Structure 1
Amino acid sequence: MLQKHFQMLARYNTLANHRIYDTCTLLSDVELKRVRPAFFKSIHGTLNHIMVGDRIWLSRFTGQETPFIKLDTILYEDFAELSAARTLEDRRIENFAANLTEEFIKGTLKYVNNQGKLYEDPIELLITHFFNHQTHHRGQIHDMLTQTEIAPPVLDMHRIINP
């Protein structure tokens, strides 16, 4: 049953990202990169951070080597390139969710965080964190959009999944 739940969260993630990116295309590069009172300093920085987190967690979940990358790394300076990469990453996330098994979800995962500390956590919790992390930072972007001339999009799950 959790597979279906995580598949719904993956779909929501894709649709919410689509709305955020569509809205951000209405902003100038200066406005996207304007320093604001936010942890990752700007809309552009926060969008990049979400991508960094997604790539780290997907590599852990899929048993690939996890790249060491600072959490505030700007992977893409160009917004159009970032947007194209986001589309591909969201497909990867939906594909990951589509192929989840109950056995995998009920397991644990050993990983080393960015500070070099070893953890072992339930995968069910980590996948939940993975989607919560995206939602948390999209909320920050939503707030930063209220500081611009552009209205932020509706991101309520029940309005996106079941419009």
Structure 2
Amino acid sequence: MNTFLAQAQNNQWANRRLLYACSRLSQAEYEAPRTGFFPSIEGTLRHILDVDLYYLAALEFDLEGQQQALPERLPFQRLAPLQRVVDARLVTYCEGLDPQALARTASLIRAQGIVLERVDRLLLHLFQHQIHHRGQVHAMLSATTVAPPQLDEFYLDGDRALRRSDEIQFSWDDQLL
């Protein structure tokens, strides 16, 4: 199993489920102030996308790409398609990983200057970041008219029936995971 590919696919799956739920929100619910580090669903989803773009640029050794920033406000109709593209890029990136690629060092632009990090550690950090902030959006959805989606049934065989429609929709072969 390519664990990093599995994590990237899980990320893609969880984002699609979460974004589908958020697509059913009214604009007011999407923008409403909520408890969280980024105090709205809009702000938190924007942060997830912004950080995904930053780390993908770092993983692709693109210093200029790390300096691109999303607009402060990002309507859902623009955010969701961008997130789908970024998720697909991450899956493609992880499909090409091997031990040598994972051991490479990437340069990250930080406030204190360029910081060098191993690719495998950057990926672990990125996946942890995504899970953390998706959890915040999930909790924020609890205070809306839209029920938060189930996000924790991905790889266990006992949960296969629960994710079957997603496997078909996303064209995933369980034998590859």
Same fold judged by TM-score > 0.5? yes
| Counterpart-to-counterpart distance in 2, 1:8 and 1:42 | 29
Are 2:139 and 1:143 equivalent residues in the alignment?
yes
- Of residues 19, 31, 40, the one that matches 1:42 is 40
The residue that corresponds to 1:102 in the other structure is: 99
CA shift, 1:39, in A, is 1.1
- Determine if contact 1:109/1:121 at 8 Å carries over to the other structure: yes
**Alpha carbons of structure 1 residues 34 and 90: separation in structure 2 relative to 1, 3 Å:** same
The residue that corresponds to 1:58 in the other structure is: 56
Q: For 1:54-95, what per-residue CA distance to the aligned partner results, in whole angstroms no more than 9, with x for missing partners? A: 11001111111233256xx54662211111111111111111
Q: Which runs of 5+ in 2 are unaligned?
A: 164-177
- The one-letter code sitting in structure 2 at the alignment partner of 1:82 is L
Compare 85-94 and 74-83 and name the one that shifted more. Answer: 74-83
* Partner SS, residue 36 of structure 1: coil
| Counterpart-to-counterpart distance in 1, 2:109 and 2:25 | 37
| Counterpart-to-counterpart distance in 2, 1:122 and 1:159 | 27
Q: Which runs of 5+ in 1 are unaligned?
A: none
Q: Count the aligned residue pairs.
A: 158
Q: For 1:84-129, what per-residue CA distance to the aligned partner results, in whole angstroms no more than 9, with x for missing partners? A: 111111111111111112101022223222x243322222111111
The residue that corresponds to 1:125 in the other structure is: 121
| Counterpart-to-counterpart distance in 2, 1:103 and 1:147 | 45
CA RMSD, 1 decimal: 2.0
- The one-letter code sitting in structure 2 at the alignment partner of 1:124 is D
| Counterpart-to-counterpart distance in 2, 1:129 and 1:19 | 22
Question: Which 4+ runs in 1 deviate beyond 6 A?
Answer: none
- Determine if contact 1:13/1:131 at 8 Å carries over to the other structure: yes
TM-score, normalised with respect to structure 1: 0.87
| Counterpart-to-counterpart distance in 2, 1:84 and 1:123 | 26
* Partner SS, residue 63 of structure 1: coil
